[in-house]
C-alpha cells in the first residue's frame, strides 16, 4: 500500500476578543472532524493577553486544564523584553504545511493574523489581509457592496468626533424610529442594541463605543427574516442552500447568547422553505458580495429579508463559527458537503491561493522595454 505524507496543520484558536471562548469551541469541532489519517495537527492557543502558546501547552488547555493557569505558567517563561515574545511559540513546530486560523473577532477576522501568516510565507485557510479587513469593518463592507450594486441597509456612521451631530430624533427622522446601534468592528452581535427612544439610544451609543471608535446607527427592516448562505471557494466560489434563523419572540435579534450560550429557544431551518426566486436572488447577492470584497476560502453571508421579500446583506463573516450549532457547516451539510469534506476543501483552497500568490510575488518578470525603433 502506497504511503502518503500527512499534511501538518497548525490550528490557531482563542484570541483576545470577546469571542475567545467561541473560537475554542470552533477549534474543538474542527479538530474532531479532521481525518487523522490525512492530517497531523498542532494546536496554537492565543491567550486573552495575545500570547501564542505552544502545542504542548495548547493541548493541555484543549484537554480541559484551566486556561488561565496554563497561560500564566507559559507566559512566565518568555522574555518579555523581546518584542517577538507574543509570537515566539508559533515557531515550536517549524514544519507546518498549512495554518488554519479560527480566531473570531478582532485580530482574527480583521486581517491581522492573516498578515502575520503571510509574512511567515505559509498557506492559511480563509481570506487575505484586505478581504478580511474590509469584511470585518461593517462601514467599509457597506461602502464596497453599494459600489457593487448589492443592497444593504441604510445607516449613518458615528465617531467620537461626529457623534454630537446625531441625536436620536435626527436619526429617527432619517432612518425610522427603530434603529440598530452597533460597533463597526465587532462580531457575534457583541455591542449591538435595538433602540426605540432617546434614552435607549444614549445607552446604546455609550456601550457600542466601548468596542470600537466607529459606530453604525442603522435602519431597522420591518419584521425581517434572518437568512444565511455559506460560500466556499477562491476564484470560482460556490454557495450553499439558504438557511433561516428563528429567534424567540422575546429577543429583538440573533444575540450572542442565542448563538453560543443557549440556543435551545432558537430554531434553525436548514434549508429553509422559500420561493425559488428569492433563493436565486440571495445566492447571486452572496456570490456578488464575496467577489466584490475579494474573499477567499470561505465566508458566511447574512441577510435580512423584509416582509415584502426585499433582501439586504446584513453582515459578511470571513471566519464563521464552527461550533456544534454554527450555520456555516450546517448549510454545507444540507448542500451535500460533509463537515470533514469541508475541512479538506478549505485546506486545498488555502494551498491553491498560496501557490497563486507565490507565483505573483516570486515569478513575476517585467516586460522588456519597448523598442522604439521597431515598427509595429
DSSP string, 314-361: EEEESS---STT-HHHHHHHHTT--HHHHHHHHHHHHHHHHHHHHHHH
Concerning whether 326 is annotated as a catalytic residue, the answer is yes
Which three-class secondary structure state does DSSP give residue 123?
coil
Whether pTM > 0.85 for this model: the answer is yes
Alpha-carbon gap, residue 341 to 358, rounded angstroms: 26
Mean pLDDT of 186-197: 85
Residues 221-278: tens digit of each pLDDT: 988 999 999 999 999 999 999 999 887 654 454 444 444 444 556 789 999 999 999 9
Q: Which CATH superfamily is domain 225-358 in?
A: ATP-grasp fold, B domain (3.30.470.20)
Predicted pLDDT of residue 18: 81
Concerning whether 188 is annotated as a catalytic residue, the answer is yes
Predicted pLDDT of residue 115: 96
C-alpha pair distances (Å), 200 with each of 116, 159, 328: 40, 18, 33
Residues 303-352: tens digit of each pLDDT: 999 999 999 999 999 999 998 889 999 999 999 999 999 999 999 999 99
Alpha-carbon gap, residue 98 to 123, rounded angstroms: 5
Alpha-carbon gap, residue 207 to 219, rounded angstroms: 18
Catalytic residue among 19, 219, 225, 228: 19
Catalytic residue among 188, 230, 240, 289: 188
Alpha-carbon gap, residue 207 to 196, rounded angstroms: 16
Provide the phi-psi class of 135: left if phi over 0, else alpha when psi is between -120 and 50, else beta: alpha
Q: What CA dihedral angle connects 306, 206, 24 and 294, to 10 degrees?
A: 50
Nearest to 75 by CA among 37, 47, 115, 42: 47
Positions of CATH 3.30.470.20 in the chain: 225-358
Predicted pLDDT of residue 250: 47
Which three-class secondary structure state does DSSP give residue 135?
helix
Say if strands 7-14 and 98-101 run parallel, antiparallel, or are unpaired.
parallel
Which three-class secondary structure state does DSSP give residue 210?
coil
Residues 71-100: tens digit of each pLDDT: 999 999 999 899 999 999 988 777 899 999
**Number of residues that this document lists for the chain:** 376
> C-alpha grid cell for residue 191?
455591542
Catalytic residue among 230, 289, 326, 335: 326
- Contact indicator for 78, 51 with CB cutoff of 8 Å: yes
Alpha-carbon gap, residue 365 to 363, rounded angstroms: 6
Concerning whether 67 is annotated as a catalytic residue, the answer is no
315 is in an annotated binding site: yes
Alpha-carbon gap, residue 270 to 216, rounded angstroms: 30
109 is in an annotated binding site: no
222 is in an annotated binding site: no
> C-alpha grid cell for residue 354?
498560496
Band (pLDDT 50/70/90 cuts) for residue 19 is: confident
**Domain with residues 154-219, CATH architecture:** 2-Layer Sandwich (3.30)
Say if strands 311-317 and 155-158 run parallel, antiparallel, or are unpaired.
unpaired
**Domain with residues 7-108, CATH architecture:** 3-Layer(aba) Sandwich (3.40)
Amino acid at each position: 500500500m502506497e504511503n502518503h505524507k500527512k499534511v501538518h496543520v497548525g490550528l490557531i484558536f482563542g484570541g483576545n476578543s470577546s469571542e475567545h471562548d467561541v473560537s475554542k469551541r470552533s477549534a474543538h469541532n474542527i479538530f474532531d472532524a479532521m481525518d487523522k489519517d490525512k492530517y497531523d495537527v498542532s494546536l496554537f492557543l492565543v491567550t486573552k493577553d495575545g500570547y501564542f502558546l505552544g502545542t504542548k501547552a495548547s493541548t493541555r488547555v484543549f484537554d480541559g486544564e484551566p486556561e488561565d493557569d496554563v497561560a500564566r505558567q507559559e507566559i512566565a517563561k518568555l522574555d518579555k523584553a523581546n518584542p517577538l515574545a507574543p509570537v515566539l511559540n508559533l515557531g515550536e513546530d517549524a514544519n507546518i504545511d498549512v495554518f488554519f486560523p479560527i480566531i473570531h473577532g478582532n485580530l482574527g477576522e480583521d486581517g491581522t493574523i492573516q498578515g502575520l501568516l503571510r509574512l511567515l510565507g505559509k498557506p492559511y485557510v480563509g481570506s487575505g489581509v484586505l478581504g478580511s479587513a474590509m469584511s470585518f469593518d461593517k462601514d467599509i463592507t457597506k461602502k464596497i457592496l453599494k459600489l457593487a450594486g448589492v443592497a444593504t441597509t441604510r445607516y449613518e456612521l458615528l465617531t467620537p468626533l461626529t457623534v454630537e451631530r446625531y441625536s436620536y430624533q435626527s436619526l429617527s427622522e432619517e432612518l425610522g424610529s427603530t434603529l440598530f446601534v452597533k460597533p463597526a468592528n465587532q462580531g457575534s452581535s457583541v455591542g449591538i442594541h435595538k433602540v426605540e427612544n432617546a434614552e435607549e439610544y444614549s445607552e446604546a451609543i455609550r456601550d457600542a463605543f466601548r468596542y470600537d471608535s466607529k459606530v453604525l446607527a442603522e435602519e431597522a427592516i420591518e419584521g425581517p427574516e434572518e437568512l444565511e448562505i455559506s460560500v466556499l471557494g477562491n476564484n470560482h466560489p460556490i454557495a450553499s442552500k439558504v438557511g433561516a434563523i428563528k429567534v424567540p419572540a422575546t429577543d429583538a435579534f440573533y444575540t450572542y447568547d442565542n448563538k453560543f450560550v443557549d440556543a435551545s429557544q432558537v430554531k434553525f431551518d436548514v434549508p429553509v422553505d422559500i420561493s425559488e426566486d428569492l433563493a436565486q436572488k440571495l445566492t447571486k447577492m452572496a456570490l456578488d458580495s464575496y467577489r466584490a470584497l475579494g474573499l477567499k476560502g470561505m465566508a458566511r453571508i447574512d441577510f435580512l429579508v423584509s416582509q415584502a421579500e426585499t433582501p439586504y446583506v446584513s453582515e459578511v463573516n470571513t471566519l464563521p463559527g464552527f461550533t456544534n450549532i454554527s450555520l456555516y457547516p450546517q448549510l454545507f451539510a444540507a448542500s451535500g458537503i460533509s463537515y470533514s469534506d469541508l475541512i479538506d476543501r478549505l485546506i486545498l483552497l488555502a494551498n491553491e491561493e498560496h501557490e497563486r500568490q507565490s507565483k505573483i510575488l516570486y515569478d513575476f518578470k517585467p516586460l522588456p522595454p519597448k523598442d522604439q525603433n521597431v515598427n509595429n
